[in-house]
Amino acid sequence: MNPTIKDVAKYANVSIATVSRIVNGLPGYTEDTKKKVQEAIEALGYQPNAIARGLINKRTQTIGVLFPEVSGMLSSEVLEGVENAAHDGGFSVIVCNTTSSGKRTVKYLRLLQEKRVDGIIFASENVKEEYYKIFQEMQVPVVLVSTASQFNLPFVRVDDYEGAFRATEYLIQKGHKQIGMIGGSFEDPIAGVPRMKGFQDALEKHGLDFTDQQMTSNEGYRFQNGKESLPLLLDKLPLMTAVFAASDEMAIGAMAAAHQLGIRVPEELSIIGYDNLKIAEMCYPALTTVSQPLKEMGQSAGEILVKLIKGKEKEAESRYMPFTIVERQSVRDLRKK
């Protein structure tokens, strides 16, 4: 069995209180006894038991992270950032894969409650009232990433409306007039509606009229969605020269569809994506896209959470992260000939 503080105390001929003080760097002992105790710790290979500590301190030094899918390339980059920040702040992270099903989310939240995590990072999924109630019960800080909510919870995200607006403007500036969009879901208040609205508004601002003929909406944001959407869009908008996809995966799906149809990218069709996943620079032609700093977002969220847990900040500090448009090879400049 692992040695306990009691074993160390006995070995060093002191009380457990003294050992505890030394381990925790509190005052109240001579240099001599400190050395004695440290030798005992060394000799026995003593490791404090974080469980016992957690019980009395009511701090587990652990946070929970909820993702709708762990292996999504988006989630995994955010996760890396979170883990990084958490580790720097002295916390471990428990990952929970909610698989975008509400039932499992609640189950996980209950689990995290039983495990007495010190804080929660909630990603991508919409915050239902049911979840919010549990947050309140739990009495621990929560930080949202890539999500906002009707509730007053701190979040870290980029401005999706603005990102979509700028992406669309970018295409317009390159001389495109017939632009289509492969959009997300109208039920999705994060990656869905704002990006579609941004697209529409940008068109209208620049005097191009918008009809719902030039947009498809999709349940998901996956490769397949994009691949299936492009032909539909081409039907409705045969003269289309450029398309804005609400995610990189969809953009790349659209590119695949274009290849199949014998449409050359970017010569005949320009494509711009959204996210800047690692695949964006790997595909051919390399994808021009709106870059979300995913890892940094995770990092930021982690840092904010740690601060809230340590009680340094009372009030929830939210952050909009800057997006940028990363120019690669999938968009053609129509003004040059």
Partner DNA sequence: GACATTAACGTAAACGTTTACGTAAAACGC
Partner DNA sequence: GCGTTTTACGTAAACGTTTACGTTAATGTC
Contact pick of 35, 42, 43, 49 for DNA (by CB under 7 A)? 49
Radius of gyration of the chain (CA): 26
Could you tell me which residues come within 8 angstroms of residue 6 by beta carbon, excluding any fewer than 6 positions away? Answer: 16
The nearest distance, CB 236 to DNA, in angstroms, is 59
Name which of DNA, a copy of itself, none residue 263 binds, using a CB cut-off of 5 to 8 Å depending on partner kind.
none
Least distance between a copy of itself and beta carbon 32 (Å):
27
Element (DSSP H or E) covering residue 77 = helix 73-88
Q: What does 249 bind: DNA, a copy of itself, none (CB cut-off 5 to 8 Å by kind)?
A: a copy of itself
Dist. CA 168–CA 200, nearest whole Å: 9
Instruction: List binders of DNA among 86-115 (CB under 7 A).
Output: none
- Of 4 and 318, the one with the shorter C-beta distance to DNA is 4
Residue with Cβ nearer DNA (33 or 76)? 33
Measured between its terminal Cα atoms, the distance across the chain in Å is 76
Name beta bridge partners: 275.
Answer: 291
Q: What are the tokens at 286?
A: 């390399």
Output the smallest distance, CB 317 to a copy of itself, in A.
Answer: 25
- For 302, counting Cβ atoms within 10 Å of its Cβ (0-12 exposed, 13-18 middle, 19+ buried), the class is buried
Q: Which residues bind a copy of itself (CB under 8 A)?
A: 2, 45, 47-52, 54-55, 60, 62, 69-73, 75-77, 79-80, 83-84, 87, 92-97, 110-111, 113-116, 137, 139, 223, 249, 252-253, 255-256, 259, 278-279, 281-286, 295
Q: In whole angstroms, give the CA distance from residue 154 to residue 80.
A: 20
Helix-then-strand count for the chain, H and E: 12, 12
Interface segment toward DNA; rule CB under 7 A; list 14-22, 195-203, 229-237, 260-268: 14-22
311: contact with DNA by CB under 7 A: no
Closest to a copy of itself by CB, 189 vs 285, is 285
Q: How far apart are CA 153 and CA 316, in angstroms?
A: 7
- Site residues for DNA, window 52-71 (CB under 7 A)? 52-53, 55-58
Q: Of DNA, a copy of itself, none, which one sits near residue 18, judging by CB under 5 to 8 A according to partner kind?
A: DNA
Name which of a copy of itself, DNA, none residue 177 binds, using a CB cut-off of 5 to 8 Å depending on partner kind. none
Asked whether the beta carbons of 80 and 38 are under 8 A apart, the reply is no
* Binding range to DNA, per CB under 7 A, among 8-16, 64-72, 192-200, 324-332: 8-16
Cβ-Cβ contacts under 8 Å for 21 (sequence gap 6 or more) = 27, 28, 29
Residues 16-45 vs DNA: string with x where CB under 7 A?
xxx-xx-xx-xxxxx-xx------------
Written as six digits, the tokens of 91 are 């916390």
Q: Give the pairing type, strands 288-291 and 319-321.
A: unpaired
- Asked if residue 259 lies in contact with residue 44, where contact means CB atoms within 8 angstroms, the answer is no
How many of the other CB atoms lie within 10 Å of CB of 33? 17
Min CB(288)–a copy of itself separation in Å: 15
Q: In the complex with a copy of itself, which residue's Cβ is closer, 172 or 306?
A: 306
Q: Which of these segments, 51-59, 182-190, 209-217, 278-286, binds DNA (CB under 7 A)?
A: 51-59
Question: How far apart are alpha carbons 18 and 41 in whole angstroms?
Answer: 13
Q: Is 6 in the site for DNA (CB under 7 A)?
A: yes
How do 288-291 and 270-275 pair as beta strands?
parallel
Residues that bind DNA (CB under 7 A): 1-2, 4-6, 13-18, 20-21, 23-24, 26-30, 32-33, 46-49, 52-53, 55-58
